[in-house]
Amino acid sequence: MTKNIVGPAEHATKSGQMAEHLMQMQNARVFIVGDVILDQYISGKVSRISPEAPVPVLLETSQKFVLGGAGNVAANVTSFGASAILAGRIGIDTDGERLTHLCQTHNIDCTAMVKNGNQPTTRKLRVLAGYQQIVRIDAESTERLDAAAEDAILKSFDAFVASARSNTHSTDNRHGNYRALVISDYGKGVCTPRLLTSLIAKSNAAGIPVITDPKSSDLSRYRGTTFIKPNLSEGREILRRMKPDAWHADLEEEIGALLKVVESECEARHVVLSLSEKGVVASTAGKKNLVRYKSDVLQVADVSGAGDTMIAFLAMAAACDLPLDRNVQLANIAAGTVCGKLGTATLSSAEFMEAFQEREGVTRPEKVVTREEAARIAAQYRHGGRSVVFTNGCFDLLHAGHVTLLQQARDQGDILFLGLNADVSIRRLKGPDRPVQNEQDRASIMSGLACINYIVLFEEDTPIKLIEAIKPDVIVKGGDYRQNQVVGADIVMARGGRVAIIPLLQGRSTTGIIERSKSGKID
């Protein structure tokens, strides 16, 4: 089987701007069905061994509850900005009340949840000493859903499908057909064969992609799914069951055999195989080429929940019908990023974009966004407690003074937006002979600077409309400006922000470079 390693440069030309894809994904509606788990974390410090038994004594410092299992998939969807409907089973108990409250906190629609007074809410208690997990204690029942509970979930899904059909002709995709079904099977009894068969059939009939995270090695129960995402250990178990005499000394051969078996067993359109520290590989039925990305985890704090994050991103991207390579790329980066967080975690779209830029070394159109996109991204950063910095200029011929200014601007906060004068704006301000370089070239050059996170072109003489949209916490200008001369200073300061004036690097200017070039005195 031929490998196809897809890199970020190819995406920049093939798939357009990342910001556009993220905005599409935020318009997705995802129906998640599966085993909902309440994850409990008790954290503390260990400084001695118990005199009663040879076990560590933990001095508790904190305790928290978060959504796990299918609930974590839903939390990842809504934290990113999309919509999630969660269907699963909870008990009529305190843990069930906690779980419902967490769903409400995350803006997850949990009206499709079914309750059972005879079974407890599934809970996993993890005890941590710093980053080290000491013990995990599970409370659960794996009894299958009864027919009434299956029918209740199917009725909720019918309503989800019907709402998609009613918006077939809608031009507003915030309420349109960016839909997906996620099957999150943790083997706790919710994903019964009858329920899965009915859900997949209904989804296929409605043209809704199905993304499956399997637990059972019997993949026939997931037959007809669009995406299936086993991890390497699950895949090996499936391969051993299907071909007990098969043995592969080479990992690549094993991966190829595993992908074929999984694809044929459940008739999936795409198989996405998580390889842990080795990254992720994906195949498409009937095609020889593979899509593959290496793992980009910068620092692993906790891998719990990373698979849920990957499934959530696969689902949102599939709902928007993004290309497979882009879909897998997004899911791989998201999963790797949450591994850097302690415990079961989620990502906002702003956090994801920052991680994407760091891991992919983005220097192309991925950084160039519209005014509307910039406003939305900036709002998400502010909501997350991050400070937004703004500066602007023509940057016609990039020189050392520009770079110094921009690097120091970036140091004023967490995220830097650059307002870049469009060509028509520069001609009005500086005359018909400027700019020397067109706006596309200038944007491409500026996007190569790591200190710049986003670039927005504007055609007006001043960036006042852009400042009103982004609402920065800090405006940065060079030392040739006074504070009362800075456009938008009053707007920022009225919101409690500030203006930072950065000293200029003497002897550097675009005009000077042009004049010296004309006189032949460039040195």
Cβ partners under 8 Å of residue 417, min gap 6: 374, 378, 388, 389, 390, 391, 453, 454, 455, 456, 470, 472
Element (H, E) at 242: helix 232-242
Task: Name the residue with tokens 């002979």.
Answer: 433
Cβ partners under 8 Å of residue 234, min gap 6: 214, 215, 217
CB-neighbour burial class of residue 443 (10 A; exposed 0-12, middle 13-18, buried 19+): buried
What is the 3-state secondary structure of 281-295?
EEEECCCCCEEEECC
Task: Report the distance separating Cα 220 and Cα 278, nearest Å.
Answer: 27
Instruction: Give catalytic residue positions.
Output: 308
Element (H, E) at 355: helix 349-360
Task: Report the distance separating Cα 19 and Cα 456, nearest Å.
Answer: 12
Closest CA to 113 of 173, 77, 156, 78: 156
Task: Report the distance separating Cα 276 and Cα 294, nearest Å.
Answer: 9
Measure Cα distances from 208 to 75, 159, 179, 211, 315 in Å: 21, 13, 6, 10, 10
DSSP label at 121? P
Task: Report the distance separating Cα 304 and Cα 173, nearest Å.
Answer: 33
Burial 162-200 (b: 16+ CB within 10 A, else e): eebeebeeeeeeeebbbbbbbbbbbebbbbbeebbebbb
Closest CA to 352 of 26, 39, 9, 108: 26
